[in-house]
Amino acid sequence: MRLFRTLLTAAAVSALMAGASHAQDAATGAALRDKALTDKTGWTILEALTTDIGPRNVGSPGAIRAKDWGLATFKALGFQNVRAEPFAKPSWIRGEESASITAPYEMKLSILGLGNSVPTPAGGVEAEIVVFTTLADLAAAPDSAVKGKIVVINQPMTRTQDGSGYGAGTMVRYTGPALAGKKGAVAYLTRSVSTSDSRQAHTGAMAYVGDGPKVPAGALGVPDADLLQRLASRGKTVKIKLNLQSHVDEKAMAWNVIGEIPGSSKPEELIVIGGHLDAWDPGEGAIDDGAGIAITTAAAKLIGDLPKHPKRTIRVVMFGSEETGGSSDAYMAAHKDEVARTVFTGESDVGGDRIFEVRLPAGSADHPAMKAAVNTLLPLKIFLAREPVGHAGSDVEGLQEAGVPAFGLTQDASRYFDLHHSADDTLDKVKPENLAQNVAAWASLLYFAADSDIDFRALTAAKAATPAGH
DSSP string, 192-219: -S-S--SS-----B----TTS----EEE
Give pLDDT, residue 15.
36
Residues carrying an active site annotation: 322
Average pLDDT over residues 338-347: 98
469 pLDDT tier (thresholds 50, 70, 90): low
| Bridging pattern class, strands 239-249 and 91-103 | antiparallel
- Top-tier CATH class for 29-90+252-465: alpha beta
**Secondary structure letter of residue 395 according to DSSP:** G
Can you give the pTM of this predicted structure? 0.93
Triad 186, 187, 188: Cα angle to 5°: 140
> Residue 54: its pLDDT value, please?
86
Q: What is the mean pLDDT of residues 263-277?
A: 98
Each residue's pLDDT tens digit, 193-225: 999 999 999 999 999 998 889 999 999 999 999
Nearest in space to 181 (alpha carbons), one of 154, 220, 207, 219: 207
β-sheet bridge partners, residue 273:
316, 346
Number of C-beta neighbours around residue 381 at 10 A: 12
User: What pLDDT was estimated at residue 244?
Assistant: 98
Q: Model confidence over 170-184: pLDDT tens digits? A: 999 999 999 999 999
CA distance 330 to 332: 5
What sections of 37-84 are H helices per DSSP? Answer: 41-48, 61-76
Please write the tens of the pLDDT for every residue from 391-434.
999 999 999 999 999 999 999 999 999 999 999 999 999 999 99
Nearest to 383 by CA among 375, 394, 391: 375
DSSP 105-151: S-EE--EEEPBTPPPPPTT-EEEEEEEESSHHHHHHS-GGGTTTSEE
Percent of the chain with pLDDT over 70: 94
Would you identify the CATH topology of the domain 96-247? Glucose Oxidase; domain 1 (3.50.30)
Residues 454 and 421: beta-carbon distance below 8 Å? no
432-450 helix and 291-304 helix, angle to the nearest 10 degrees: 50
- Domain layout of the chain by residue ranges: 29-90+252-465, 96-247
Adjacent-strand bridge partners of 243: 98
Residue 39: is its pLDDT beyond 60?
A: yes
pLDDT digits (tens, 9 = 90+) for 50-66: 999 988 999 999 999 99
Tell me the C-alpha distance between 42 and 29, whole Å.
Answer: 18
H-helix segments, 314-431:
327-335, 368-377, 397-401, 416-419
Sign of the CA dihedral 429, 42, 284, 114?
negative
CA atoms of 118 and 94, how far apart (whole Å): 10
